[in-house]
Amino acid sequence: MLESADPARFAVNSTVHDADALPTVADNGTRVHWPQDAISRTLTVTDAAGGTIASHEVDVVFPILHGSWGEDGTVQGMLELVDLPYVGSGVLASALGMDKHFTKSMLSQAGIAVAPWRTVNRLDWQRDERAVRAAAAELGSSVFVKPARAGSSVGVSRVTEADDLGDALTIAFAEDDRVLIEAAVTGREVEIGVLGGGPGEPARASVAGEIVVTGRDFYDFAAKYLDAPGIELVCPARLTDDELARMQDLAVRAFDAIGCEGLARVDFFLTEHGFVVNEINTMPGFTPISMFPRCWDASGMGYPDLVDELVRTAVARHAR
């Protein structure tokens, strides 16, 4: 943190919160300058005129960022280049976790159940629409269409009528050139937090939380970020001891399968046939009311201790 900085000089001017818009941040010209080499660990903030507002040595970076240029390995690669320790997964695991196609491919290879899917690109759709529609039909009468590399349910649509597939693909292709068509899975939506151990220590999983959907088709962007109704987050989830143990084992296996480090939230469907992994979030939401911290709080590790462990683990990992 840049503790000597004057908060009044930073641009954090949010709009009035309403149900249809996210808060915005005005650009008043302030800039954060990362170290330019692996020798200096100085982070500098300048104002619009180029004057220095604050300058401090950085011990470790906690990149609580979502989406492209945040949790997809790009920021992690930059931090590697300037030799700054950071919390969370490295370049490869971050990129894999962000890409739904490759996450599913890796998990399937590891023997972990995922929802059946087909991946298509723009050219596939333009060249042979009939083949894409046939592939979608093979997945069932209800499918989800998702950008391969977008988070927070951005660009995701549920399709229950074949005629709506084209519109759903258009929405998804606006976010990514590759899109997944995924079979809808019937089951409870349950999530679990995983913490990677320090050097030589195994990863471990928290208790589980559950997303109870009561008035929406699915847990979409509006429910996640605009406080739209129809969603309840329950933690801990009501699971038997055997179900929780199985889920924890699968979560750690999924974490290890793509090479995660530090932390992740693994999202499941609990179906009548068992657990199906939906996705892995290598940098999950981290507000005190987000599911990842809530799961660890319910497991006996409060928010300050959770942050402390993650920072200490990142520093220890960098020192190897």
For residue 193, give the 3-state DSSP assignment: strand
**Could you tell me if 179 and 190 lie in one domain?**
no
**Could you tell me if 175 and 313 lie in one domain?**
no
Per-residue exposure over 163-190, b if at least 16 CB sit within 10 Å of its own CB, e if not: eebeebbebbbebbebbbbbbbbeebbb
The residues, ordered by sequence, that sit 6+ positions from 196 with a Cβ below 8 Å of its Cβ are: 203, 255, 260, 261, 262, 263, 264, 313
Structure token pair of residue 29: 């010209």
Q: What is the pLDDT of residues 180-235, one digit of tens each?
A: 999 999 999 999 999 998 888 999 999 999 998 776 565 555 455 545 556 788 99
Structure token pair of residue 260: 């995660």
Whether the CB-CB separation of 91 and 80 falls below 8 Å is answered with yes
In this prediction, residue 227 carries a pLDDT of: 54
Structure token pair of residue 11: 């641009």
Structure token pair of residue 24: 């915005």
**Could you tell me if 281 and 205 lie in one domain?**
yes
**Could you tell me if 270 and 229 lie in one domain?**
yes
**Could you tell me if 210 and 295 lie in one domain?**
yes
Last-in-domain residue among 58, 75, 101: 58
For residue 69, tell me if it sits in a domain. Answer: no
In this prediction, residue 133 carries a pLDDT of: 97
In this prediction, residue 16 carries a pLDDT of: 39
In this prediction, residue 21 carries a pLDDT of: 66
Last-in-domain residue among 167, 183, 199: 183
Structure token pair of residue 55: 């300058």
Task: Write down the H helix ranges in 158-302.
Answer: 165-173, 221-225, 241-257, 291-298
Which residues in the chain show pLDDT less than 50?
Answer: 1-17, 19, 222, 226
**Could you tell me if 208 and 134 lie in one domain?**
no
The residues, ordered by sequence, that sit 6+ positions from 150 with a Cβ below 8 Å of its Cβ are: 67, 68, 156, 175, 176
CATH of the domain at 272: 3.30.470.20
CATH of the domain at 173: 3.30.1490.20
For residue 70, tell me if it sits in a domain. Answer: no
In this prediction, residue 38 carries a pLDDT of: 83
In this prediction, residue 15 carries a pLDDT of: 37
In this prediction, residue 230 carries a pLDDT of: 61
For residue 294, tell me if it sits in a domain. Answer: yes
**Could you tell me if 265 and 292 lie in one domain?**
yes
For residue 2, tell me if it sits in a domain. Answer: yes
Task: Note down the domain range covering 231.
Answer: 92-114+186-318
For residue 204, tell me if it sits in a domain. Answer: yes
**Could you tell me if 144 and 7 lie in one domain?**
no
**Could you tell me if 191 and 300 lie in one domain?**
yes
For residue 266, tell me if it sits in a domain. Answer: yes
For residue 142, tell me if it sits in a domain. Answer: yes
Whether the CB-CB separation of 199 and 316 falls below 8 Å is answered with yes
**Could you tell me if 201 and 302 lie in one domain?**
yes
- Total number of domains in the chain: 3
In this prediction, residue 221 carries a pLDDT of: 55
HSE-CB of 236 using CA atoms within 13 angstroms: 16
**Could you tell me if 166 and 192 lie in one domain?**
no
**Could you tell me if 153 and 217 lie in one domain?**
no
For residue 98, give the 3-state DSSP assignment: helix
For residue 85, tell me if it sits in a domain. Answer: no
User: Per DSSP, which regions of 128-273 are E strands?
Assistant: 143-147, 157-159, 178-183, 188-195, 204-213, 231-234, 263-271
